[in-house]
């Protein structure tokens, strides 16, 4: 079945032996260096930097707390950790104007309580049906639905493959086994993250 597993053939290059560029220590270090060098694009007009001892930086926009780190599904990015802008600056000791940050933090929390989905850009949220964007409370609603419908169409020996989030392999594997799939297995991508769960259906359509 190796030829059917797309995750084995992600477009990244060998580093040495079986090691790959993506998510290697060298890749991470180079990415950090590129980010640091690319961020030095400010003109220090009026000698604003370094900041005066009593200065505070004001962060405008909900993106200081609510942000998108990458794409979704196969367009997602591999990260060792994520931090929002506010937390990152605080950790570096940058003095922030807290009343403004409090406003946006509360605004983001209020929007989520009102039913917004975290991380969605307006052009996505406002033009795509909610049913296609929200995976439910545990993010597994679509897997359950596909398994339920798939049982009606698969013959014994038919196979089903799921691309998953890197932290969903255990839950999706259990769902497949409960639905009557055998030989359920997990495939990692070249970053070493769980990426595909697949199994063989043990019954006919019903």
Distance CA 2, CA 100 (A): 53
d(CA 33, CA 29): 6
Residues 86 and 149 in one domain: no
Mean pLDDT value across residues 105-115: 80
User: In terms of domains, do 64 and 14 share one?
Assistant: yes
pLDDT band at 160 (very low <50, low <70, confident <90, very high): very high
Q: What is the mean predicted confidence (pLDDT) over 35-41?
A: 74
The β-bridge partners of 194 are: 188
Same domain (yes/no): 33, 102: yes
- Domain residues for 82? 2-128
Which tens digits make up the pLDDT trace of 170-205? 999 999 998 889 999 999 888 788 899 999 988 755
Domain assignment present for 6 = yes
Q: Do 166 and 69 lie in a common domain? A: no
The 10s digit of each residue's pLDDT in 42-91 is 677 788 778 888 889 999 988 888 876 665 555 555 566 678 889 989 99
In this structure, the answer to whether residues 11 and 35 fall within a common structural domain is yes
Domain-ending residue, one of 128, 152, 182: 128
CB contact at 8 A, 134 and 117: yes
Domain match, 113 and 38 both: yes
Whether residues 189 and 110 share a domain: the answer is: no
Whether residue 159 sits in one domain with residue 86:
no
pLDDT of residue 187: 92
- Are 84 and 29 found together in one domain? yes
Alpha helices in 92-186 (DSSP H): 98-113, 122-125, 130-133, 141-150, 169-178
**Does 111 lie in the same domain as 13?**
yes
CATH number of the domain residue 151 falls in: 3.40.50.150
**Last residue within a domain, chosen from 83, 103, 128:** 128
Q: Would 133 be classed as within a structural domain?
A: no
135 within some domain:
no
Q: Which residue is listed with tokens 């807290």?
A: 98
- Can you tell me the distance from the alpha carbon of 84 to that of 66, in angstroms, rounded to the nearest whole number? 7
């Amino acid at each position: 079945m190796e030829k059917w597993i797309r995750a084995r053939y992600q477009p990244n290059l060998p580093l040495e032996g079986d090691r790959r560029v993506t998510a290697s220590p060298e890749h991470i270090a180079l990415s950090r260096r590129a980010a640091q060098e690319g961020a030095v694009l400010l003109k220090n007009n009026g000698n604003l930097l370094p900041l005066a001892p009593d200065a505070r930086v004001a962060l405008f926009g909900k993106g200081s707390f609510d942000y998108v780190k990458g794409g979704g599904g196969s367009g997602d990015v591999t990260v060792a950790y994520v931090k929002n802008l506010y937390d990152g600056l605080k950790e570096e000791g940058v003095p922030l104007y807290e009343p403004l940050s409090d406003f946006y933090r509360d605004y983001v929390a209020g929007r989520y309580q009102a039913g917004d989905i975290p991380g969605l850009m307006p052009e996505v949220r406002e033009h795509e049906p909610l049913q296609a964007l929200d995976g439910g409370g545990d993010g597994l609603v679509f897997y359950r639905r596909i398994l339920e419908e798939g049982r009606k169409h698969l013959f014994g020996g038919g196979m089903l493959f799921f691309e998953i989030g890197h932290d969903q392999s255990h839950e999706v594997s259990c769902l497949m086994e409960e639905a009557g799939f055998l030989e359920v297995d997990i495939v990692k991508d070249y970053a070493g993250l769980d990426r595909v769960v697949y199994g063989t259906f043990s019954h006919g359509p019903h």
